[in-house]
Structure 1
Amino acid sequence: MAVLVGHRAIMQAFHVQAAGRNSSSRLANVLSCFRHSWKVSGGHGAVTRPYSSDSKDDVRVRYLDGEDSGIVVVGMNRPKAKNAISRNLVKMMSEAVEDIKKNNKVRSVIFCSLVPGIFCAGADLKERAKMQQSEVGAFVSKARALITELGNLPVPTIAAIDGAALGGGLEMALACDIRIASNTAKMGLVETKLAIIPGGGGTQRLPRAIGMSLAKELIFAARVVDGTEACRLGLVSHSVEQNNSADAAYLRALELAREINPQGPIAVRMAKLAINQGIEVDLSTGLAIEEACYAQVIPTKDRLEGLAAFKEKRRPHYKGE
């Protein structure tokens, strides 16, 4: 598929390696990323994406640096399978989430696709058809566990939906704190078409996102909505007009991550914890959770830095301490 400038901003993010690596290492990684070089296929800068059939490229993770240090971009990259959720993709995504969870330098994560026109088409049905019946339940449990861990990441997570997010693909997006979609993106929990139900948390997270009645309607009817309708329903926070590079949602997600980046990182983590835990309980208990989370920020150096910066009328420099 040829697209104008083809996901240029996402690929720029995937040129960048974690801060602290030497220039030769960075160059080697960039060359590796572009080993399947972009091929010009027409005028106006049209290109073919540098796809790889190597399964180790199913998920690509880049830790941005410079002013964007702290932002992590996780890109799904199974072009032939439309990013369908396979055993290997679950394994690689789980490893990426585990690494992010352990890294205190991370301030936000963007989950996106490196395949134009698709976010994730859901389960890999070709692989599923080859499984024994006894294997299906175990695989679904692993996929559900991955999505749960994604939702449990302590930092803000943003799903950039620039294409179709169906079934398990939408369930992954639902586990993120914030969802941004292009107006042309297609979203739906379509499992009832296959005589099954959403198995990655969709029956629980969709009602929490848009309300029980609407969630039932969408799931029962296996209805697919575009980005504009998804925004109206509250399924996504923002719907942006798709651009010629097919990365409008990613660009908006990056803008949002950059808004989050300069804020106190411990405070942001505690705010997420207070919101996530508090929404599941009564108000009185929720307020107690908020108080407990607030207590965690009082002794931090960042809080003192914030007060000093306010007094001195300068930008604070938070270190997550």
Structure 2
Amino acid sequence: MSTAARPAPLALSMGDPAGVGPELAVAAWQMAVSGHLPPFVVVGSHAVIAAAARDRQVPVVAVASPDAALAAFPAALPVIDIGTGAYTPGAPDDAGAALALASLTLATELTRHGATSALVTGPVAKSRLARVGFAFPGQTECVAAACGIAADDAVMMLAGPSLRVVPITVHVALAEVPGLLTTRLITARATIAAAALARDFGIARPRLAVAGLNPHAGEEGRMGHEDQAVIAPAVAQLRAAGIDAVGPLPADTMFHAAARATYDLAICMYHDQALIPIKALDFDEGVNVTLGLPIIRTSPDHGTAFGIAGTGTARAGATLAAIRMAAQCVAHRNA
């Protein structure tokens, strides 16, 4: 088959050069055949990726375009070079953060314009990015803004082999969660999630399980009013719109195996309510997927891991899963 007839490669942003992103990109290319991965191109510093590849004896080649990456991928890891950078495992600095931001920006633009078929983002340190002018809470909001999507309309889903979860509120203090939850917010994010499961995951009629906020889902108001006053009306609105949703459900009984078999997605009220179960079940294969975008964006569900960067101990499972899931979403959208 000619490269012109093949789908465009995926774009991998490099992440912080002091973190595990570069070595995991190298490891992913090493396991591309055994892991049944599609072609991808790293957007980053050729010098950084080549240094990360040296111990693994992986060939790395600079390419000028995603089309050239398709031809190069079987023999070497292709890199669209954005400039010289230092590979400094475990020693983050502002120069590395600037390189990570440049990588994210170009990889996003390539995907927005269709030169690459999906975006897989490497892990970054948000505090470091803020020092070099990054004005967003995280990569999700940055990618959404580049796509012209409001931050509230970009929904974070964590997905693994055992579970998919969406937290309605994300990086906020737990004390702030009750005041931030509204019927409108829950309904809007759950609606976006249901549409994305149909469009990108091939689930024609997604089943949503909506968690309560309080113990025992409030126990009819004896343990808080939010479940009956805020969450239950949202579930009613979702059902009225034709979405298969149930809840509010007690969160402590939602995540055992028999319960998980009854739904396709758990809608959770706050960060840890969603992330604790998925990290307990799918720690090495969790993928962060941004729903509601015109492009496909995934990311391994872990951070920069500065403490183990460069030691060769970082596990590539989540990176492989993020690449694989992005490709599956591309296939569903094309279908």
Q: TM-score, normalised by structure 1?
A: 0.34
Q: Which has the higher helix share?
A: 1
Higher relative contact order (CA 8 A, sep 6+): 2
